[in-house]
Structure 1
Amino acid sequence: MKLHTDPASALNTVTAYGDGYIEVNQVRFSHAVAFGPEGTVAEWPVQAAAEITTSLLQQAAGLSETRRDPLDFLDEPEGGSPAHGIGPEVLIVGTGGRQRLLSQEVLRPLLMAGIGVEVMDTQAAARTYNILMAEGRRVIVALLPTQGDLPA
């Protein structure tokens, strides 16, 4: 399916998707990708939704795996930004042609860091990302291409 976008936009936008590919800014990718409104479109080393781990979600969201003490905010200067203000507000995960829910164990570390995680099929994820990105939200998307498993 071809999506239409504002051609003057300098932000990363999903411009199309189909069986076996995702197109971002009119560049076609045949592998999983992760990106936000600005920056590079990175290859995401996932072949299937069953392979998604906490570490891979953190990688997609641009987070380091270092553990943060939940009481560190007590040492921050008054009015300082919270730790979760650094990362995205939401990580959208497109799991291919069908929605494949992820376990709470996999999601918990991101939720504890203040990052919402929405899991949906890749088509819905691409459309949702484009809407949130256009609204100026801090959003990251990780998309698996569909592999001919689109619902009829």
Structure 2
Amino acid sequence: MQLQTESNPALNTVTAYGDDYIEINAVTYRHAVYFGPEGEIHAMPVTSSDQISAALLRQIAGIPEPGAADPMAFLDDAPPTLPADAPQIVLIGTGARQRFLAASLIQPLNRLGIGVESMDTQAAARTYNILMNEGRRVVAALLPLECSA
């Protein structure tokens, strides 16, 4: 299904999707991908939503592992600081059917103030395009429709 006839070439826009592909800026990907409005489209090393881990969610959001930068950071009472370009929300497209991720996977990002929403890939693609066009800091991780287990 084609989503948009026009897109801003400077922004990553989902332009179509089908059973075995996702199209971003008229480039077809036949594997799971994650991306934000600007920058690269990254391959996501999963074939089902069951393979998504907390570490992968942090990678998708561009958030370093806790303690990676400063081993003494746990002594600070201040909340962790996020990169300036940290997303407000991470959308997970879980294939043809909506699959919820375990709370234990999304809690680390939620504690940092980053929302994580799971929905079928079609809904995630449409929602991403809307939020991206509104100028929101959003990241989408999309599995092709055939990947729904």
Q: State the TM-score, normalized to the length of structure 1.
A: 0.86
Structure 1 residue matching 2:127: 3-state secondary structure: helix
Alignment of 1:1-152 (within 5 A): 1-67=1-67, 69=74, 71-73=77-79, 83-84=81-82, 86=84, 87-147=86-146
Could you tell me whether the CA contact under 8 Å between 2:92 and 2:142 is conserved in 1?
yes
- Alpha-carbon distance in structure 1 between the residues aligned to 2:140 and 2:110: 16
Deviation at 1:8, TM superposition (A): 4.0
Q: Which runs of 5+ in 2 are unaligned?
A: 68-72
Q: Which runs of 5+ in 1 are unaligned?
A: 74-81
Deviation at 1:10, TM superposition (A): 1.4
Deviation at 1:9, TM superposition (A): 4.2
- State, as a whole percentage, how many aligned pairs show the same letter: 52
For these two proteins, the number of residue pairs brought into alignment is: 141
- Alpha-carbon distance in structure 2 between the residues aligned to 1:148 and 1:44: 12
Root mean square deviation, CA, Å: 1.8
Could you tell me whether the CA contact under 8 Å between 1:15 and 1:23 is conserved in 2?
yes
Could you tell me whether the CA contact under 8 Å between 2:95 and 2:147 is conserved in 1?
no
Could you tell me whether the CA contact under 8 Å between 1:5 and 1:13 is conserved in 2?
no
**Deviation above 4 Å: which 4+ runs of structure 1?**
none
Q: State the TM-score, normalized to the length of structure 2.
A: 0.87
